[in-house]
Amino acid sequence: MERGLSGARILVTGGAGFLGSHLCERLLEQGHEVTCLDNYFTGQKKNIYHLLENKRFEVIRHDIVNPIFLEVDQIYNLACPASPIHYQYNPVKTTKTNVMGAINMLGLAKRVKAKILQASTSEVYGDPTIHPQDESYWGNVNPIGLRACYDEGKRCAETLFFDYHRQNGVNIKVVRIFNTYGPRMHPEDGRVVSNFVLRCIRNEPIPIYGSGNQTRSFCFVDDMIEGFIRMMNGPDEFIGPVNLGNPVENSILELAELIVRLTKSGSRLDFLPSVMDDPKRRKPDIAMAKEQLDWEPRIGLEEGLKRTIDYFRGESVVR
Ligand code: NAD
Ligand code: UDP
Protein backbone atom coordinates (compact mmCIF):
# COMPACT_ATOMS: atom_id res chain seq x y z
CA MET A 1 0.00 0.00 0.00
CA GLU A 2 1.27 3.49 -0.87
CA ARG A 3 2.19 5.57 2.17
CA GLY A 4 2.06 9.08 0.72
CA LEU A 5 4.91 11.43 0.07
CA SER A 6 6.79 10.80 3.31
CA GLY A 7 7.38 7.49 5.07
CA ALA A 8 7.08 5.23 2.01
CA ARG A 9 9.20 2.06 1.79
CA ILE A 10 11.38 2.60 -1.24
CA LEU A 11 13.76 0.21 -2.99
CA VAL A 12 16.60 1.68 -5.05
CA THR A 13 18.41 -0.89 -7.18
CA GLY A 14 21.89 0.27 -8.10
CA GLY A 15 21.69 2.44 -4.98
CA ALA A 16 25.46 2.47 -4.38
CA GLY A 17 26.15 3.87 -7.84
CA PHE A 18 26.50 7.45 -9.00
CA LEU A 19 22.82 8.33 -9.52
CA GLY A 20 21.53 5.75 -7.03
CA SER A 21 23.48 7.16 -4.09
CA HIS A 22 22.20 10.69 -4.74
CA LEU A 23 18.67 9.32 -5.03
CA CYS A 24 18.93 7.39 -1.73
CA GLU A 25 20.20 10.55 -0.06
CA ARG A 26 17.30 12.68 -1.35
CA LEU A 27 14.68 10.08 -0.44
CA LEU A 28 16.05 9.83 3.11
CA GLU A 29 15.94 13.63 3.38
CA GLN A 30 12.26 13.41 2.45
CA GLY A 31 11.62 11.05 5.37
CA HIS A 32 11.28 7.73 3.52
CA GLU A 33 12.53 4.29 4.46
CA VAL A 34 15.12 3.43 1.83
CA THR A 35 16.53 0.05 0.89
CA CYS A 36 19.61 0.22 -1.32
CA LEU A 37 20.24 -2.93 -3.34
CA ASP A 38 23.53 -3.32 -5.20
CA ASN A 39 26.05 -5.94 -6.31
CA TYR A 40 28.89 -3.34 -6.27
CA PHE A 41 29.93 -4.03 -9.86
CA THR A 42 30.38 -0.33 -10.64
CA GLY A 43 29.00 1.15 -7.44
CA GLN A 44 31.15 1.96 -4.44
CA LYS A 45 30.40 1.48 -0.77
CA LYS A 46 31.93 4.86 -0.04
CA ASN A 47 29.11 6.49 -2.02
CA ILE A 48 26.71 5.46 0.75
CA TYR A 49 28.95 5.44 3.87
CA HIS A 50 27.49 8.75 4.98
CA LEU A 51 23.96 7.27 4.89
CA LEU A 52 24.67 4.17 6.98
CA GLU A 53 23.95 5.81 10.32
CA ASN A 54 20.44 6.73 9.26
CA LYS A 55 18.00 4.28 10.88
CA ARG A 56 15.68 4.49 7.86
CA PHE A 57 18.46 3.25 5.53
CA GLU A 58 19.17 -0.40 4.78
CA VAL A 59 21.63 -2.01 2.35
CA ILE A 60 21.33 -5.38 0.62
CA ARG A 61 24.12 -6.92 -1.45
CA HIS A 62 22.22 -8.63 -4.24
CA ASP A 63 22.34 -9.13 -8.00
CA ILE A 64 19.05 -8.29 -9.72
CA VAL A 65 19.45 -11.10 -12.23
CA ASN A 66 18.25 -13.22 -9.29
CA PRO A 67 14.78 -12.86 -7.80
CA ILE A 68 14.32 -11.20 -4.43
CA PHE A 69 11.31 -11.02 -2.13
CA LEU A 70 10.78 -7.72 -0.28
CA GLU A 71 7.84 -5.59 0.82
CA VAL A 72 8.03 -2.09 -0.67
CA ASP A 73 5.79 0.70 -1.96
CA GLN A 74 8.04 2.08 -4.69
CA ILE A 75 10.97 0.76 -6.74
CA TYR A 76 13.52 2.82 -8.64
CA ASN A 77 15.29 0.37 -10.97
CA LEU A 78 18.73 1.85 -11.62
CA ALA A 79 20.92 -1.27 -11.43
CA CYS A 80 23.02 -1.48 -14.60
CA PRO A 81 26.54 -0.39 -15.49
CA ALA A 82 26.22 2.91 -17.36
CA SER A 83 29.63 3.71 -18.81
CA PRO A 84 30.60 2.13 -22.14
CA ILE A 85 33.80 0.54 -20.77
CA HIS A 86 31.88 -1.00 -17.87
CA TYR A 87 28.87 -2.27 -19.82
CA GLN A 88 31.11 -3.66 -22.57
CA TYR A 89 33.34 -5.46 -20.04
CA ASN A 90 30.85 -8.35 -19.79
CA PRO A 91 28.20 -7.64 -22.43
CA VAL A 92 26.21 -10.83 -21.82
CA LYS A 93 25.90 -9.87 -18.16
CA THR A 94 24.78 -6.37 -19.19
CA THR A 95 21.93 -7.81 -21.23
CA LYS A 96 21.03 -10.15 -18.36
CA THR A 97 20.99 -7.27 -15.88
CA ASN A 98 18.71 -5.26 -18.13
CA VAL A 99 16.34 -8.04 -19.15
CA MET A 100 16.32 -10.55 -16.27
CA GLY A 101 16.73 -7.69 -13.80
CA ALA A 102 13.68 -5.93 -15.24
CA ILE A 103 11.65 -9.15 -15.11
CA ASN A 104 12.60 -9.72 -11.46
CA MET A 105 11.88 -6.16 -10.40
CA LEU A 106 8.61 -6.05 -12.35
CA GLY A 107 7.63 -9.38 -10.78
CA LEU A 108 8.33 -7.90 -7.37
CA ALA A 109 6.30 -4.77 -8.22
CA LYS A 110 3.43 -6.95 -9.43
CA ARG A 111 3.44 -9.12 -6.29
CA VAL A 112 3.45 -6.26 -3.79
CA LYS A 113 1.59 -3.73 -6.00
CA ALA A 114 4.48 -1.27 -5.88
CA LYS A 115 4.99 1.58 -8.32
CA ILE A 116 8.17 1.04 -10.34
CA LEU A 117 10.36 3.51 -12.23
CA GLN A 118 12.79 2.37 -14.89
CA ALA A 119 16.05 4.24 -15.51
CA SER A 120 16.04 4.01 -19.29
CA THR A 121 18.37 5.96 -21.51
CA SER A 122 18.85 8.21 -24.52
CA GLU A 123 20.73 5.20 -25.94
CA VAL A 124 17.33 3.77 -26.97
CA TYR A 125 17.58 6.39 -29.77
CA GLY A 126 20.98 4.99 -30.83
CA ASP A 127 22.79 7.19 -33.35
CA PRO A 128 19.72 9.37 -33.98
CA THR A 129 18.55 10.43 -37.41
CA ILE A 130 16.30 13.15 -36.00
CA HIS A 131 17.42 16.08 -33.87
CA PRO A 132 16.63 16.90 -31.12
CA GLN A 133 15.19 13.57 -29.99
CA ASP A 134 11.63 13.47 -28.71
CA GLU A 135 9.89 10.49 -27.16
CA SER A 136 7.99 9.55 -30.33
CA TYR A 137 11.24 8.70 -32.14
CA TRP A 138 11.85 4.93 -32.37
CA GLY A 139 15.61 5.18 -32.67
CA ASN A 140 18.46 4.00 -34.86
CA VAL A 141 20.26 1.22 -33.00
CA ASN A 142 22.74 -1.31 -34.35
CA PRO A 143 21.50 -4.58 -32.82
CA ILE A 144 24.85 -6.38 -33.18
CA GLY A 145 27.35 -3.67 -32.31
CA LEU A 146 29.46 -3.18 -29.19
CA ARG A 147 26.85 -0.90 -27.62
CA ALA A 148 23.96 -3.25 -28.35
CA CYS A 149 24.11 -5.11 -25.02
CA TYR A 150 23.24 -1.84 -23.32
CA ASP A 151 21.03 -0.19 -25.98
CA GLU A 152 19.00 -3.28 -26.85
CA GLY A 153 18.98 -4.38 -23.20
CA LYS A 154 17.43 -1.05 -22.21
CA ARG A 155 15.01 -1.20 -25.16
CA CYS A 156 13.89 -4.68 -24.13
CA ALA A 157 13.49 -3.48 -20.53
CA GLU A 158 11.15 -0.74 -21.79
CA THR A 159 9.18 -3.39 -23.68
CA LEU A 160 8.88 -5.47 -20.51
CA PHE A 161 7.73 -2.46 -18.50
CA PHE A 162 4.98 -1.65 -20.98
CA ASP A 163 3.90 -5.30 -21.29
CA TYR A 164 3.73 -5.76 -17.49
CA HIS A 165 1.66 -2.58 -17.43
CA ARG A 166 -0.75 -3.71 -20.17
CA GLN A 167 -0.87 -7.38 -19.16
CA ASN A 168 -0.71 -7.16 -15.37
CA GLY A 169 -1.68 -3.59 -14.55
CA VAL A 170 1.70 -2.83 -12.98
CA ASN A 171 2.02 0.88 -12.14
CA ILE A 172 5.06 1.86 -14.24
CA LYS A 173 7.11 4.98 -14.92
CA VAL A 174 9.83 5.14 -17.58
CA VAL A 175 12.40 7.93 -17.79
CA ARG A 176 14.95 8.22 -20.60
CA ILE A 177 18.05 9.70 -19.05
CA PHE A 178 20.46 11.80 -21.15
CA ASN A 179 24.14 12.17 -20.16
CA THR A 180 24.26 13.07 -16.47
CA TYR A 181 27.35 14.02 -14.48
CA GLY A 182 28.41 15.18 -11.04
CA PRO A 183 30.09 14.16 -7.79
CA ARG A 184 30.42 10.39 -7.15
CA MET A 185 30.87 9.42 -10.78
CA HIS A 186 33.32 6.54 -10.74
CA PRO A 187 36.74 8.11 -11.36
CA GLU A 188 37.86 5.34 -13.70
CA ASP A 189 34.66 4.75 -15.67
CA GLY A 190 35.95 6.53 -18.76
CA ARG A 191 32.82 8.63 -19.17
CA VAL A 192 33.60 11.90 -20.84
CA VAL A 193 33.07 14.30 -17.94
CA SER A 194 34.83 12.25 -15.25
CA ASN A 195 37.67 11.36 -17.60
CA PHE A 196 38.26 14.92 -18.81
CA VAL A 197 38.14 16.33 -15.27
CA LEU A 198 40.55 13.70 -14.02
CA ARG A 199 42.96 14.17 -16.93
CA CYS A 200 42.93 17.93 -16.45
CA ILE A 201 43.55 17.70 -12.70
CA ARG A 202 46.47 15.38 -13.41
CA ASN A 203 47.72 17.51 -16.32
CA GLU A 204 47.53 14.46 -18.59
CA PRO A 205 46.52 14.48 -22.28
CA ILE A 206 42.76 14.54 -22.90
CA PRO A 207 41.65 11.68 -25.21
CA ILE A 208 39.25 12.87 -27.92
CA TYR A 209 37.66 10.02 -29.85
CA GLY A 210 37.22 11.08 -33.48
CA SER A 211 36.99 14.75 -34.44
CA GLY A 212 35.44 15.85 -31.15
CA ASN A 213 32.60 17.44 -33.14
CA GLN A 214 30.14 14.84 -31.85
CA THR A 215 27.73 16.39 -29.36
CA ARG A 216 26.12 15.53 -26.03
CA SER A 217 23.84 17.46 -23.70
CA PHE A 218 24.96 17.32 -20.08
CA CYS A 219 22.65 17.38 -17.07
CA PHE A 220 23.83 17.92 -13.49
CA VAL A 221 22.91 15.09 -11.11
CA ASP A 222 20.75 17.17 -8.72
CA ASP A 223 18.45 18.16 -11.58
CA MET A 224 18.16 14.55 -12.71
CA ILE A 225 17.23 13.30 -9.23
CA GLU A 226 14.53 15.96 -9.00
CA GLY A 227 13.16 14.67 -12.32
CA PHE A 228 13.09 11.05 -11.06
CA ILE A 229 11.16 12.01 -7.93
CA ARG A 230 8.68 14.19 -9.80
CA MET A 231 8.07 11.37 -12.27
CA MET A 232 7.57 8.75 -9.54
CA ASN A 233 5.11 10.94 -7.66
CA GLY A 234 3.25 12.37 -10.64
CA PRO A 235 -0.19 11.19 -11.73
CA ASP A 236 -0.46 7.41 -12.29
CA GLU A 237 -1.77 7.97 -15.84
CA PHE A 238 1.52 9.57 -16.90
CA ILE A 239 3.79 6.58 -17.38
CA GLY A 240 6.20 7.98 -19.98
CA PRO A 241 8.57 7.29 -21.52
CA VAL A 242 9.74 10.81 -20.82
CA ASN A 243 13.09 12.38 -21.68
CA LEU A 244 15.06 13.81 -18.75
CA GLY A 245 18.17 15.77 -19.64
CA ASN A 246 19.60 19.20 -20.23
CA PRO A 247 18.77 20.46 -23.74
CA VAL A 248 21.91 22.60 -23.96
CA GLU A 249 24.08 20.83 -26.54
CA ASN A 250 27.89 20.92 -26.56
CA SER A 251 30.51 19.31 -28.74
CA ILE A 252 33.07 17.14 -26.99
CA LEU A 253 35.73 19.67 -28.02
CA GLU A 254 33.79 22.49 -26.35
CA LEU A 255 33.48 20.38 -23.23
CA ALA A 256 37.23 19.70 -23.19
CA GLU A 257 38.05 23.39 -23.62
CA LEU A 258 35.66 24.37 -20.82
CA ILE A 259 37.11 21.82 -18.40
CA VAL A 260 40.68 22.90 -19.26
CA ARG A 261 39.70 26.50 -18.48
CA LEU A 262 37.88 25.70 -15.22
CA THR A 263 40.69 23.52 -13.91
CA LYS A 264 43.40 25.90 -15.22
CA SER A 265 45.04 22.79 -16.60
CA GLY A 266 47.99 22.46 -18.91
CA SER A 267 46.52 19.33 -20.56
CA ARG A 268 46.61 19.10 -24.34
CA LEU A 269 44.11 17.37 -26.62
CA ASP A 270 45.02 13.89 -27.84
CA PHE A 271 43.03 12.92 -30.97
CA LEU A 272 42.35 9.17 -31.18
CA PRO A 273 40.33 7.03 -33.63
CA SER A 274 36.57 7.20 -33.12
CA VAL A 275 34.82 4.35 -31.33
CA MET A 276 32.24 2.00 -32.91
CA ASP A 277 28.66 3.31 -33.24
CA ASP A 278 29.44 6.48 -31.30
CA PRO A 279 26.30 8.66 -31.62
CA LYS A 280 27.14 11.84 -33.54
CA ARG A 281 24.53 14.14 -31.98
CA ARG A 282 22.42 13.92 -28.89
CA LYS A 283 20.05 16.49 -27.44
CA PRO A 284 16.79 15.87 -25.64
CA ASP A 285 13.50 17.50 -26.48
CA ILE A 286 12.15 18.03 -22.96
CA ALA A 287 8.77 19.58 -23.82
CA MET A 288 6.96 16.57 -22.33
CA ALA A 289 8.83 16.74 -19.01
CA LYS A 290 8.17 20.49 -18.82
CA GLU A 291 4.48 20.08 -19.47
CA GLN A 292 3.76 16.93 -17.44
CA LEU A 293 6.23 17.30 -14.56
CA ASP A 294 6.89 21.04 -14.56
CA TRP A 295 10.55 20.00 -14.70
CA GLU A 296 13.58 21.46 -16.40
CA PRO A 297 17.25 21.59 -15.40
CA ARG A 298 18.29 24.53 -13.24
CA ILE A 299 22.06 24.06 -12.98
CA GLY A 300 24.14 25.18 -15.95
CA LEU A 301 27.14 23.29 -17.28
CA GLU A 302 29.77 25.64 -15.88
CA GLU A 303 28.29 25.60 -12.36
CA GLY A 304 27.81 21.81 -12.43
CA LEU A 305 31.35 21.26 -13.67
CA LYS A 306 32.78 23.44 -10.90
CA ARG A 307 31.01 21.29 -8.30
CA THR A 308 32.24 18.13 -10.03
CA ILE A 309 35.82 19.41 -10.22
CA ASP A 310 35.72 20.29 -6.50
CA TYR A 311 34.56 16.73 -5.75
CA PHE A 312 37.32 15.09 -7.78
CA ARG A 313 39.98 17.37 -6.28
CA GLY A 314 38.78 16.33 -2.82
CA GLU A 315 38.99 12.66 -3.75
CA SER A 316 42.80 12.74 -3.98
CA VAL A 317 42.74 11.45 -7.53
CA VAL A 318 45.90 13.35 -8.38
CA ARG A 319 48.74 10.90 -8.90
P1 NAD B 1 26.61 3.45 -12.04
O2 NAD B 1 27.40 2.44 -12.76
O3 NAD B 1 27.33 4.42 -11.15
O4 NAD B 1 25.49 2.77 -11.16
C5 NAD B 1 24.91 1.53 -11.46
C6 NAD B 1 24.79 0.75 -10.18
O7 NAD B 1 24.15 -0.51 -10.45
C8 NAD B 1 26.15 0.41 -9.56
O9 NAD B 1 26.13 0.69 -8.18
C10 NAD B 1 26.32 -1.07 -9.84
O11 NAD B 1 27.15 -1.73 -8.89
C12 NAD B 1 24.88 -1.55 -9.81
N13 NAD B 1 24.64 -2.79 -10.56
C14 NAD B 1 25.06 -3.08 -11.82
N15 NAD B 1 24.64 -4.30 -12.17
C16 NAD B 1 23.92 -4.78 -11.13
C17 NAD B 1 23.23 -5.99 -10.90
N18 NAD B 1 23.20 -6.97 -11.82
N19 NAD B 1 22.60 -6.17 -9.70
C20 NAD B 1 22.66 -5.20 -8.75
N21 NAD B 1 23.30 -4.03 -8.91
C22 NAD B 1 23.92 -3.82 -10.10
O23 NAD B 1 25.78 4.25 -13.14
P24 NAD B 1 24.79 5.50 -13.03
O25 NAD B 1 25.30 6.57 -13.90
O26 NAD B 1 24.48 5.80 -11.63
O27 NAD B 1 23.49 4.92 -13.75
C28 NAD B 1 22.36 4.48 -13.04
C29 NAD B 1 21.28 4.07 -14.01
O30 NAD B 1 20.92 5.18 -14.83
C31 NAD B 1 21.70 2.93 -14.94
O32 NAD B 1 20.59 2.07 -15.14
C33 NAD B 1 22.02 3.66 -16.23
O34 NAD B 1 21.83 2.83 -17.35
C35 NAD B 1 21.03 4.81 -16.19
N36 NAD B 1 21.52 5.93 -17.02
C37 NAD B 1 22.52 6.74 -16.55
C38 NAD B 1 22.98 7.77 -17.36
C39 NAD B 1 24.06 8.72 -16.90
O40 NAD B 1 24.45 9.59 -17.67
N41 NAD B 1 24.55 8.65 -15.68
C42 NAD B 1 22.43 7.96 -18.64
C43 NAD B 1 21.44 7.10 -19.07
C44 NAD B 1 20.97 6.10 -18.25
N1 UDP C 1 34.68 10.65 -25.30
C2 UDP C 1 35.95 11.15 -25.61
N3 UDP C 1 36.97 10.96 -24.73
C4 UDP C 1 36.79 10.30 -23.55
C5 UDP C 1 35.52 9.78 -23.24
C6 UDP C 1 34.49 9.96 -24.14
O7 UDP C 1 36.14 11.77 -26.66
O8 UDP C 1 37.78 10.18 -22.79
C9 UDP C 1 33.56 10.88 -26.20
C10 UDP C 1 32.85 9.61 -26.66
O11 UDP C 1 33.46 9.08 -27.83
C12 UDP C 1 31.45 10.13 -26.90
C13 UDP C 1 31.27 11.22 -25.86
O14 UDP C 1 32.58 11.60 -25.47
O15 UDP C 1 31.35 10.70 -28.18
C16 UDP C 1 30.49 10.77 -24.62
O17 UDP C 1 31.05 9.57 -24.15
P18 UDP C 1 30.58 8.85 -22.82
O19 UDP C 1 31.33 7.56 -22.75
O20 UDP C 1 30.69 9.77 -21.67
O21 UDP C 1 29.01 8.59 -22.98
P22 UDP C 1 28.05 8.14 -24.18
O23 UDP C 1 27.15 9.31 -24.31
O24 UDP C 1 28.84 7.90 -25.43
O25 UDP C 1 27.39 6.91 -23.67
- In this prediction, residue 315 has a pLDDT band, given cuts at 50, 70 and 90, of confident
> What tens digit of pLDDT does each residue of 214-233 get?
999 999 999 999 999 999 99
Does residue 61 form part of some domain? yes
227 pocket-lining for ligand 1 (C-beta < 6 Å): no
Using 50, 70 and 90 to split pLDDT, how confident is the model at 2? very low
Atom index in ligand 2 nearest the CA of residue 214 equals: 15
Residue 211 falls inside a structural domain: no
- Kindly report, residue by residue over 279-307, the tens digit of the pLDDT: 999 999 999 999 999 999 999 999 999 99
Q: Dump pLDDT digits (tens) for 130-177.
A: 999 999 999 999 999 999 999 999 999 999 999 999 999 999 999 999
Ligand nearest the Cα of residue 267 is: 2
Query: Which residue minimizes the CA distance to atom 21 of ligand 2?
Result: 191
Task: Tell me if 80 is assigned to some domain.
Answer: yes
Residue 77 within a domain: yes
Catalytic residues: 150
pLDDT score recorded for residue 74: 98
Is 186 part of any domain? no
**Domain boundaries, position 34:** 9-179+221-245+284-298
pLDDT in tens, 197-219: 999 999 999 999 999 999 999 99
Q: Does the pLDDT of residue 250 top 60, yes or no?
A: yes
Average pLDDT value for the chain: 96
| Residue 169 maps to a domain | yes
Give the model's pLDDT for residue 318. Answer: 54
User: 1 pLDDT exceeds 50?
Assistant: no
**What is the number of the ligand closest to the CA of 206?**
2
**Is the model's pLDDT at 3 over the cut of 50?**
no
For residue 38, the domain's CATH number is: 3.40.50.720
Is 233 part of any domain?
Answer: yes
| DSSP per-residue codes, the chain | ----SSS-EEEEETTTSHHHHHHHHHHHHTT-EEEEEE--SS--GGGTGGGTT-TTEEEEE--TTS------SEEEE--S--SHHHHTTSHHHHHHHHHHHHHHHHHHHHHHT-EEEEEEEGGGGBS-SSSSB-TT---B--TTSTTHHHHHHHHHHHHHHHHHHHHH---EEEEEE--EE-TT--TTS--HHHHHHHHHHTTPPEEEETTS--EEE-EEHHHHHHHHHHHHHS-TT----EEES---EEEHHHHHHHHHHHHT----EEEEPPPTT--S---B--HHHHHHH-----S-HHHHHHHHHHHHHHTT---
At residue 316, the pLDDT reads 64
* Residue 216 within any structural domain of the chain: no
- The pLDDT tens digits for 11-38 are 999 999 999 999 999 999 999 999 999 9
**From ligand 2's centre to the CA of 156, what distance in Å?**
24
Q: Among residues of the chain, what percentage have pLDDT more than 70? A: 97
Indicate the number of domains in the chain.
1
Q: How far is the CA of 192 from the centre of ligand 2 (A)?
A: 5
Per-residue CA distances from 95 to 38, 90, 265, 319 (Å): 17, 9, 39, 35
